[in-house]
A and B are shown apart, each in its own frame.
Chain A
Amino acid sequence: MIASALLLSLVVASLATALAVALGTAAGWFLARRPFAGRELVDALLSLPLVLPPTVTGYYLLVVLGRKGPLGGLGIPFTLAACVVAATVMAFPLVVRAARVAFEEIDPRQRLAAASLGHGSVSTLWHVELPLARRGLAAGAALGFARALGEFGATLMLAGNIPGRTQTLPLAIYEAAMTGEKPAALALSIALTAVSVIVLLIVGRLGRGRA
């Protein structure tokens, strides 16, 4: 149980981080650009999963992706994909915030300098903005990974708790604790804590490197 839950969690967190970084970098880039009408509202909506109880976020996902929901045809609930979706949605706001700050910290004249040298928006994004934002983006990815790894509430709502299929590490810990398997719960908790400490060390290092 421990091995399969840990493996599943690592797979889910990795996929979720990749998705959250791709989408969150794009969203953060748009938010960091010149103000548009409703920018702060969009930012607030994207940040909702940070403040809502994860079970509420999970419930919304279930409403949208459930069999009778608008995207019910995808057949996502109670699958590995459901774990990834839940973890992605929870990690996404952290990545967006980190990406927005990272892009906002770039002197806007850097884009101008690149453009004056003949580089269009795409080339400037690839050769100037992303390299300059890389530390912030990496820190956002690390935080997103930690968040995805620890996801519990939304995953439980959308993916259920099926050992070997959707039972991630936090769910396994919950089950072990509830069924009195204290050594297993402790071992799993320590494993999760160790991974989290490593992530925080990485984030701290990236943060210092920027100064």
Chain B
Amino acid sequence: MSTLHADIALTRGEFRLEAAFSVPPGITTVVGVSGAGKSTLLLSLLGDQTPSSGRIALGDRALFDAAKGIDVPVHERRIGIVFQDALLFPHLTARENVAFGLAAGGDANAWLERVGASALPTRRPVDLSGGERQRVALARALAASPEALLLDEPFSALDPAARASLGTLLVALQRESGVPFVHVTHDPGEALRIGERTIALDHGRVVAEGRTSEVLSGSLGRIAAVGSDNWLRGTVLEDGPDGSRVDCGGTVIVTGRLHRPIGDTVVLMLPAEDVLLARGEIHGTSARNILAGRVVSLDEADDAIDVIIATPAKLRARVTRAAVSELALAPGSRVWLLVKANAFRVAG
């Protein structure tokens, strides 16, 4: 299965997109605030927007090459798309929607069954729930046997339960198809749950690209989409009346009780403002988390400074300038982080 490569530039009025990245087989999420260029990026890959320069290729098959005058039309790119509102063909039933682009030898009913929509073949989109529509839209896109799949915030209009179950389904469908999935989301929690890799877009530029946890932890620079929150993915070690213990990549965190089974994967969110810093180890506080770490970098925030600390999981602490100079914080400084158990929020 081929990797999707793109190195494109495109101008639309005031907005300019300049992005170079690769999407290997697997799920790569694209995060960014609205207006960051996420949808423009997807439409360029799909072939609906023509970049002014650059190149797009699936493996060694060129889809767009400004220098060579190549611009493969949408219907020959073999790239599927799932929109936020599913956008099924309203005049066709669920099964007819799936059959619309069915690859040779495919079976529309089998696809409906695969996505958990086998009870709905003769229903029209208007009679389906939002989650059911997205299931059918996934089946429709994958039934055409695409060589890459683009997803434009497909779960953002769904309730949390439907979002979680569709996220699990998406991960399984990607494994079965083996092709690159480009999944646009504005929800860092969703990015952590489903995507191994993440591309962060800001003002039309790729500001970070890499492993999702690395990108979101801020180690690669501040990302507007993620803001000043810490996003951590971890495994539940203990869950009891005194709270839960979660292993986040070597850093064990104590949270309020999560009511999740041991071994379960959770995504935790921690506002950077809720992290206290100390230069010495402190005893006798109510904070349930006292983590030793080393300062990796200092980021200028609006009226404060974000200190990135490896614990080893990277955490962001937002402190005042005065605090930075008083504590003499610099890259390499040894610090202790104090965080209340209840400052962590479960994001998935």
CB contacts (< 8 Å) of A131 on chain B: these are 91
Cβ B75 vs Cβ A118 within 8 A: yes
- Digitize A125-163: 1 where CB-to-B-CB distance is under 8 Å, 0 elsewhere: 001100110000000000000000000000000000000
**CB of A179 closer than 8 Å to a CB of B:** no
Measured between alpha carbons, how far is A116 from B43 in the docked complex, in Å?
Answer: 11
Interface residue range, chain A: 10 to 19
From 40 to 81 in chain B, residues with beta carbon under 8 angstroms from any chain A beta carbon are: 46-48, 73-81
Q: A109-B83, A127-B100 are known contacts. Are A116 and B91 too (CB-CB below 8 A)?
A: no
**CB of B87 closer than 8 Å to a CB of A:** yes
Q: A109-B83, A127-B100 are known contacts. Are A116 and B89 too (CB-CB below 8 A)?
A: no
CB contacts (< 8 Å) of B75 on chain A: these are 114-120, 124
- Digitize A159-188: 1 where CB-to-B-CB distance is under 8 Å, 0 elsewhere: 000000000000000000000000000000
Cβ B91 vs Cβ A117 within 8 A: no
CB contacts (< 8 Å) of A120 on chain B: these are 73, 75
What are 10 A-B residue pairs whose CB atoms fall within 8 Å in the complex?
A110-B87, A113-B81, A113-B87, A114-B75, A114-B101, A116-B46, A116-B101, A117-B100, A117-B141, A119-B101
**Interface size, chain B (Cβ < 8 Å):** 23
A82 to chain B, nearest CB (A): 39
Cβ A117 vs Cβ B101 within 8 A: yes
Main DSSP-derived SS at the A contact region: helix
Cβ A110 vs Cβ B81 within 8 A: no
Cβ B91 vs Cβ A132 within 8 A: yes
**CB of B135 closer than 8 Å to a CB of A:** no
Cβ B91 vs Cβ A112 within 8 A: no
Cβ B83 vs Cβ A116 within 8 A: no
Measured between alpha carbons, how far is A113 from B97 in the docked complex, in Å?
Answer: 11
**CB of B233 closer than 8 Å to a CB of A:** no
CB contacts (< 8 Å) of B90 on chain A: these are 132
Cβ A116 vs Cβ B74 within 8 A: yes
**CB of B140 closer than 8 Å to a CB of A:** yes
**CB of B144 closer than 8 Å to a CB of A:** yes
Measured between alpha carbons, how far is A118 from B80 in the docked complex, in Å?
Answer: 9
B184 to chain A, nearest CB (A): 14
CB-CB nearest in chain B for A120: B75
CB contacts (< 8 Å) of B80 on chain A: these are 116-117
Q: A116-B74, A119-B75 are known contacts. Are A128 and B141 too (CB-CB below 8 A)?
A: no
CB contacts (< 8 Å) of A109 on chain B: these are 83, 87
Measured between alpha carbons, how far is A109 from B48 in the docked complex, in Å?
Answer: 10
With contacts defined as CB atoms under 8 Å apart, how many contacts are there between chain A and chain B in the complex? Answer: 56
A37 to chain B, nearest CB (A): 19
B38 to chain A, nearest CB (A): 15
CB contacts (< 8 Å) of B89 on chain A: these are 110, 113-114, 128, 132
Cβ B91 vs Cβ A115 within 8 A: no
CB-CB nearest in chain A for B78: A118
CB-CB nearest in chain A for B100: A117
Measured between alpha carbons, how far is A110 from B74 in the docked complex, in Å?
Answer: 13
CB-based closest 9 A-B pairs: A117-B101, A115-B74, A115-B75, A131-B91, A117-B144, A116-B81, A120-B75, A118-B75, A118-B101
For the A-B complex with A116-B77, A118-B76 known, give 6 more contacts whose Cβ atoms are closer than 8 Å: A112-B74, A113-B87, A115-B74, A116-B80, A118-B78, A124-B75
Cβ B91 vs Cβ A118 within 8 A: no
CB-CB nearest in chain A for B143: A117
Cβ B144 vs Cβ A112 within 8 A: no
- Digitize A98-122: 1 where CB-to-B-CB distance is under 8 Å, 0 elsewhere: 0000000001011011111111100
CB contacts (< 8 Å) of B91 on chain A: these are 131-132
A154 to chain B, nearest CB (A): 37
Measured between alpha carbons, how far is A54 from B75 in the docked complex, in Å?
Answer: 46
CB contacts (< 8 Å) of B74 on chain A: these are 112, 115-116
CB contacts (< 8 Å) of B144 on chain A: these are 116-118
B64 to chain A, nearest CB (A): 15
- Digitize A21-33: 1 where CB-to-B-CB distance is under 8 Å, 0 elsewhere: 0000000000000
- Digitize B8-39: 1 where CB-to-A-CB distance is under 8 Å, 0 elsewhere: 00000000000000000000000000000000
Measured between alpha carbons, how far is A110 from B85 in the docked complex, in Å?
Answer: 11
CB-CB nearest in chain A for B101: A117
Measured between alpha carbons, how far is A110 from B48 in the docked complex, in Å?
Answer: 12
From 74 to 118 in chain A, residues with beta carbon under 8 angstroms from any chain B beta carbon are: 107, 109-110, 112-118
CB contacts (< 8 Å) of A124 on chain B: these are 75
Measured between alpha carbons, how far is A127 from B96 in the docked complex, in Å?
Answer: 11
CB-CB nearest in chain B for A132: B91
Cβ A114 vs Cβ B48 within 8 A: no
Contact of A113 among B47, B73, B78, B83 (CB under 8 A): B83
Measured between alpha carbons, how far is A128 from B302 in the docked complex, in Å?
Answer: 50
